[in-house]
Amino acid sequence: MSFKYPLSAVVKVGLSGEAGQVKGRADYVSAGNQYYVHYLAADGRAVNAWFDEDEIQPASEMPKA
């Protein structure tokens, strides 16, 4: 399965709307694509976290409801 987002893409976390940059990607036999995103959390901390492809979107789009 190909990746939807390239490395260094700016993406937004769908639920929180926090935006960051894709720093890594992973694909697994038993799961979909995942992205390691470095982003600024709502409380001002710099955070790194893994997200499934359906949990993020391009930063220019509105958050999913």
Residue ranges per domain, the chain? 10-58
The number of helix segments (H) and strand segments (E) in the chain equals 0, 5
CB neighbours (10 Å) of residue 33?
A: 17
Q: Which two tokens stand for residue 14?
A: 């769908």
* Per-residue model confidence (pLDDT) at position 64: 47
* Per-residue model confidence (pLDDT) at position 27: 87
Its pTM stands at 0.84
Encode pLDDT of 17-65 as tens digits: 899 999 999 988 888 899 999 999 989 999 999 999 999 999 986 444 4
| The residue to which tokens 């990746």 are assigned | 3
Q: 24 with 33: CB under 8 angstroms?
A: no
